[in-house]
Structure 1
């Protein structure tokens, strides 16, 4: 049974898109293969997997044009995601919605469009799979059906990618996926970002006393605290058994400390059904990302975290200060 569409909940749609952690990631063969097939099967010079963000459309894959994104205001796919059926335009110059669109009146001179919404299993349309032509043409109903099937393949790939990249218990990124995002951030030189690593204090004692199911409850609750305090562009991962990582973007070290302290205090206030005596604290270290590679940044943070736990738990400290003192 197809999912129930949620077409009027734009904040929920954006949240669903962000949960995929796919925006601004590298090209992947799975998606490039689909756009290549779409172009071949539909005889379309351009085919793309378009994800519609707040103010832009970003292409996870595009075949036939050398662009990575456009403003959302120019996006044909922005119109596609407002419904549950393919959008088919034979001549963009005759459609009042697009006749004056810059993508129609100038390069790349889009004349025909066919787009199928990418409807996730929760009912949100996060984007569209589209085929474009530089000449007017009538895409047939059979071609609409074919594109819809390819769109389902894109959705399946997005869902599988999400499952492979996320820890099933906490919903955080896996260590591998977290390090990939860390590496990606390091390539964006204009971004200020801070790496925070934290470890749950005396977590082994929780498992020993209350059992692993209660330990899982603790991990899930801690993860929810962190995820509820993330802002756009932040990344959250589970990098060890009870160790987590955060990438806070577009922040100074001072701003990052304020946000991390909010998380640390909230973790300390958690209560658990297993016992009124059960409480949890966490030790955080923060590291400004400047010249450090992903591997060296993690190594520095891990070493600082070890020092932080030896010198007193339930605190947030600057990794640089700890290592200088050591």
Structure 2
């Protein structure tokens, strides 16, 4: 297995975010792998650890009752930089004072291999831990490598099931899951978060007049416009045939309206050789989540704003926080 780790942290976090795996429920496929590895290598603890910006989060862990730790104490944060197993953590100056060594679970031996994405980013590690000093052989490290490949394959398969293959956006189901996570984060850290819903105006006429391949080309162009405008941490979803959603993390209502307007203006400048006079327009609804709002309420408020934009003449943005709207028309 080749390890060509890419050094930029922003790109690594973006790659991790694309899998939409953080803070998801346990899954049998990953639990089976950690269970097998623990049995094969005869260790008390095995984990699939994903290294986020400030924490490591366990997609699966056997032998330890934990869901995450601070990145600052994570052994796996070192694994994504260097593949060297630690033989005795108490004697290693990097870890001798680590609270996971001096306190529970009192780690003495650790071995981990990176979970490397196909584009070369180390997302986290598959690791084994023992509370006794021990050496991990090359053969055992090779076993970890093979299971790490299975984990990446599982992540890739999971992504295929959660992404629209035509435009490479998340599916409606995955988008709703991302919105639910944003609501949960708001309860913890109070960062603003905004939602954009938009429909392409008269899209059925494009399919009917130019054919479905032409319609597909328009959808791909729209998705590309979105990707060049939003940030890596934001999420683009295809919610229906010509209906899209954009989840803007750490974004105020005012800034979200500006993003929607930027997208609307960019769509209108798209040009296609097969229809030189075709103008693509879209109608937008925008809202910012407020504390205490439910998923259904947030989406309902945004959808109501989109409804007003469509029935108010189309090709416009209507922003709404409590259905008190501000409209920006073409």
**TM value normalised by structure 1:** 0.88
- Alpha-carbon distance, 1:134 to partner: 1.6
> Cα deviations across residues 184-228 of structure 1 (Å, max 9, x unaligned)?
333332343222210011112222233222221221121122223
> Cα deviations across residues 16-50 of structure 1 (Å, max 9, x unaligned)?
22221222333323222222222222222221111
What secondary structure is seen at the aligned counterpart in 1 of 2:198?
Answer: strand
> Using the alignment, how far apart are the partners of 1:107 and 1:198 within structure 2?
50
Instruction: Report the counterpart of residue 236 of structure 1 in structure 2.
Output: 236
1:57 aligns with 2:56: yes
Partner residue of 1:132 out of 129, 134, 150: 129
Instruction: Report the counterpart of residue 24 of structure 1 in structure 2.
Output: 23
> Using the alignment, how far apart are the partners of 1:221 and 1:3 within structure 2?
35
- Alpha-carbon distance, 1:60 to partner: 1.8
1:192 aligns with 2:192: yes
CA contact (8 A) 1:48 1:62 kept: yes
Q: Which deviates more, 288-297 or 17-26? A: 288-297
Partner residue of 1:165 out of 162, 165, 168: 162
Give 4+ residue runs of structure 1 displaced > 6 Å after superposition: none
What secondary structure is seen at the aligned counterpart in 2 of 1:115?
Answer: strand
> Using the alignment, how far apart are the partners of 1:223 and 1:144 within structure 2?
41
What secondary structure is seen at the aligned counterpart in 2 of 1:215?
Answer: helix
Instruction: Report the counterpart of residue 73 of structure 2 in structure 1.
Output: 74
Instruction: Report the counterpart of residue 315 of structure 2 in structure 1.
Output: 314
CA contact (8 A) 1:57 1:75 kept: yes
CA contact (8 A) 1:192 1:289 kept: yes
- Alpha-carbon distance, 1:249 to partner: 2.7
User: Alpha carbon RMSD of aligned pairs, Å?
Assistant: 2.4
What secondary structure is seen at the aligned counterpart in 2 of 1:24?
Answer: coil
CA contact (8 A) 2:284 2:305 kept: no
CA contact (8 A) 1:4 1:122 kept: no
Q: Using a 3 Å threshold, how does the CA distance of structure 1 residues 56 and 264 change in structure 2: closer, same or farther?
A: same
What secondary structure is seen at the aligned counterpart in 1 of 2:169?
Answer: coil
- Alpha-carbon distance, 1:128 to partner: 0.7
> Using the alignment, how far apart are the partners of 1:4 and 1:44 within structure 2?
25
- Alpha-carbon distance, 1:292 to partner: 4.2
Unpaired stretches in structure 1, ≥5 consecutive residues: none
Partner residue of 2:98 out of 101, 114, 123: 101
> Using the alignment, how far apart are the partners of 1:230 and 1:71 within structure 2?
29
> Using the alignment, how far apart are the partners of 2:298 and 2:169 within structure 1?
19
What secondary structure is seen at the aligned counterpart in 2 of 1:87?
Answer: coil
1:181 aligns with 2:178: yes
> Using the alignment, how far apart are the partners of 2:54 and 2:271 within structure 1?
39
CA contact (8 A) 1:6 1:123 kept: yes
The number of equivalent residue pairs is 320
Instruction: Report the counterpart of residue 48 of structure 1 in structure 2.
Output: 47
What secondary structure is seen at the aligned counterpart in 2 of 1:244?
Answer: strand
> Cα deviations across residues 37-84 of structure 1 (Å, max 9, x unaligned)?
22222222221111122333222222233333333332222222235x
- Alpha-carbon distance, 1:230 to partner: 2.9
Instruction: Report the counterpart of residue 87 of structure 1 in structure 2.
Output: 84
Instruction: Report the counterpart of residue 208 of structure 1 in structure 2.
Output: 208
> Cα deviations across residues 286-320 of structure 1 (Å, max 9, x unaligned)?
23334443344434433442332121111110241
What secondary structure is seen at the aligned counterpart in 2 of 1:228?
Answer: helix
> Using the alignment, how far apart are the partners of 2:88 and 2:263 within structure 1?
53
Q: Which deviates more, 266-275 or 200-209? A: 266-275
Q: How do residues 218-229 of structure 1 correspond to structure 2 at under 5 angstroms?
A: 218-229=218-229
Instruction: Report the counterpart of residue 153 of structure 2 in structure 1.
Output: 156
CA contact (8 A) 2:14 2:233 kept: no
> Using the alignment, how far apart are the partners of 1:241 and 1:112 within structure 2?
52
